[in-house]
Amino acid sequence: MSKIKAAQGHPYARIMGVGGYRPTRVVPNEVILETIDSSDEWIRSRSGIATRHWASDEETVAAMSVEAAGKAIADAGITPGQIGAVIVSTVSHFKQTPAIATEIADKVGAGKPAAFDISAGCAGFGYGLTLAKGMVVEGSAEYVLVIGVERLSDLTDLHDRATAFLFGDGAGAVIVGPAKQPMIGPTVWGSEGDKAETIKQTEGWDVYRDGTPDKFPAITQEGQAVFRWAVFEMAKVAQQALDAAGITADDLDVFIPHQANERIIDSMVKTLKLPEHVTVARDVRTTGNTSAASIPLAMERLLATGEAKSGDTALVIGFGAGLVYAATVVTLP
């Protein structure tokens, strides 16, 4: 018989607060057209994107995260010292070590929490949310700060007609804490590594050790392959998340998919047969694709504008490089 004492956790977990930060510089499509042969109409028709935000030198991954985290902490009504863990999902923090989460934890005044980074691309927020839920339920942390943050402008090839217009910068954060009833549903997540080449960084950082590259590494993708996978396979995952939560599309109030492309969003809405009363996040129009930050940023905007309200039932799904995905149903804070 084991002599190990059981952890004293909580029966359930919930999102208690949300915050976001968008860089001050707004970049319209006209700026993108300076380096690619395209048009504003083509970009909008293919992606829905009209503008995106690009960070200044001062708006670092850490700085944007601290701003978003501060808003989430205030929204949750807790103090920074109560945070037991900090999880940061990003692919655009360029130092392999230490984890940027440790710097962010210190700057928000969280004391000495567990702190680590994860790399799960555009599904990173869902991965972080699932880990945070497990910590609260298991008892290793009372409150967990989850951040999705990207400076994808640093990894954008402005001469790549397929991707130059897609990416933006920003940070989104949530606080996950105890609940007395289920408010974060089971996560449906996974990976399809055989499709890893469809979204990738063009070169590894070792090119700087082994030689002088012609240009800085960037994110590239096979657009049509990614589109087909997202539309057909991710709609299935979204339905599985609804089933796992024990609800139907009619029970939803809000749908917050990863803000990759408005055509993908429209196709998923149609495939899932979402009723007209369901509010659909379309933050991609003015924020672009911010990878791990896109879901919490979209969530924050919906709540701030009143398009969604506290207590609403929302389906969230992220998907991207890996290829990886994560979907769950949550109650909005």
Residues designated catalytic: 122, 258, 289
- pLDDT the model gives residue 234: 96
**Rounded Cα–Cα distance for residues 301 and 138 (Å):** 31
Question: What local confidence, expressed as pLDDT, does residue 175 receive?
Answer: 98
- What would the mean pLDDT of 170-199 be, rounded to a whole number? 96
CA distance 222 to 162: 8
pLDDT (average), residues 135-156: 97
Mean pLDDT (whole number) for 140-144: 97
Strand partners, 331: 313
Q: Which residue has the tokens 């850490």?
A: 62
CA 219 to mean position of chain CA atoms: 17
Is the distance from CB of 124 to CB of 317 less than 8 angstroms?
A: no
Q: Please, what is the average pLDDT of the chain?
A: 96
Task: Write b or e for each residue in 255-294: b if 16 or more Cβ atoms lie within 10 A of its Cβ, otherwise e.
Answer: bbbbbbbbebbebbbeebebeeebbbbbbbebbbbbbbbb
- Which residue, chain included where needed, has tokens 């701030």? 304
Predicted confidence (pLDDT) at residue 177 exceeds the cutoff of 80: yes
Position 50 scores a pLDDT of: 98
pLDDT at residue 213 tops 80: no
Q: What's this model's pTM, rounded to 2 decimal places? A: 0.96
For range 48-66, the mean pLDDT: 98
